[in-house]
Structure 1
Amino acid sequence: MTMTVPLSSETILRRPVLGSRRPSNYLWAVVTLLGGIGFVLSSLSSYFQVNLLLFSDPTQLVFRPQGLVMGFYGVAALVLSVYLWLVISWDVGGGYNEFNRETQKVTIFRWGFPGDDRRVELVYDWAEVQCVRLDIKDGLSPKRALYLSIRGRGELPLTRVGQPLAIAVLESQGAELARFLSVPLEGL
């Protein structure tokens, strides 16, 4: 899996979409892994009465119920950590948006979970594109997204999920795309 770089020319506009390989996901995967290891070692220390941790002495814990609960939480954290690392390695949600004037095609590509539908590739004719729409909602849970409105198919999200983009960046990307596609920009 190679990293796609933004490609822009007179005939092709290609923008990468960041998936699950974000710094925050790496941080949570590491924190969950370390926490899970710590809880499992605490549980084992209380069972075997041997201190397996450098920063604490869990041998003072009674194995039933405290050590068992620590072990349960540790195993749950390790399972969650494995899931996070797999999602990161598969780059779920990552991909690109490509707009090609030569072929008159719009391609939306994303990686999914392994299986029959791992590659999610949507291809539309240029003529089916109605407009580019900005969705900006501020407040406690802000939402800033760029959508491509396709005739008879609804709206396709073009921006990544997660941390919202800056309004200026979103507006400039939307204006650039609307100019490239020769369609209106809505939602300003």
Structure 2
Amino acid sequence: MQNEIRQDKIVGSRRFSNYFWSLVLFVGGLGFLLAGLSSYIQINLLPFTNSIELIFIPQGVVMIFYGTLSLAISFYLTLTLFLDIGSGYNEYNKIENLVKIIRKGFPGKNREVLLTYPFSNIRSIGIKITEGLNPTRSIYLCLKDERNIPLTPVQEPISISDLEEEAADLAKFLDLKLENL
């Protein structure tokens, strides 16, 4: 039974880069907000600089706007980290002849996303590699109706050899052909 079911864990939003950017945006946003407020109330709220010298209109207003925006994005990132959006697993079950893709979403009636595909609807396993400014390296489940379902999470690109090895292992496990998209 162990060799009949394969589960691949998917890391969601709980990655180091998201923790880092959430903290940077919070600290930067708080600094901008306090600097803008300091220029309005004429009391220095930041001990390491003299924000009173800023003219409230337009500099203070812009600082408050950017600080608020940065804090809102930081809050959103922290919320996605807390809820672990995008995490889940891919299950390949030879007993039931099904591929199940399970992911966590935002709270609500569709909090957990469950996609199931019978083996009879699967054409192949595909690999897509794009280089350039925004490189992507992904493995896809290619269906007979020409849909391509991504199996790998959004992440830093892994090496091409690791991607090919992972895709080849999956294609061998499911007894499917491997194709380049």
- TM-score interval (norm. to shorter): over 0.9
Alignment of 1:42-53 (within 5 A): 42-53=35-46
1:73 paired with 2:78, answer: no
- Equivalent residue for 2:53, pick from 40, 60, 69: 60
Within 1, Cα distance between the matches of 2:93 and 2:166?
Answer: 16
Within 1, Cα distance between the matches of 2:131 and 2:68?
Answer: 39
Find the residue that maps to 2:123 and give its secondary structure. strand
Aligned length: 181
Measured on the aligned residues, the alpha-carbon RMSD in Å equals: 1.8
Find the residue that maps to 2:108 and give its secondary structure. coil
Alignment of 1:49-128 (within 5 A): 49-128=42-121
Within 1, Cα distance between the matches of 2:34 and 2:133?
Answer: 39
Within 2, Cα distance between the matches of 1:171 and 1:64?
Answer: 57
Within 2, Cα distance between the matches of 1:113 and 1:173?
Answer: 29
Find the residue that maps to 1:159 and give its secondary structure. coil
Identity between Structure 1 and Structure 2 (%): 44
User: 1:10-41 CA distances to partner (integer Å, 9 max, x unpaired)?
Assistant: 11111111221111111111111111110111
* TM-score using structure 2 length: 0.92
Runs of 4+ with >6 A deviation: none
Find the residue that maps to 2:7 and give its secondary structure. strand
Unaligned runs of 5+ in 2: none
Shift of 1:124: 1.5
- Equivalent residue for 1:169, pick from 158, 162, 165: 162
Shift of 1:153: 6.0
- Structure 2 counterpart of 1:20: 13
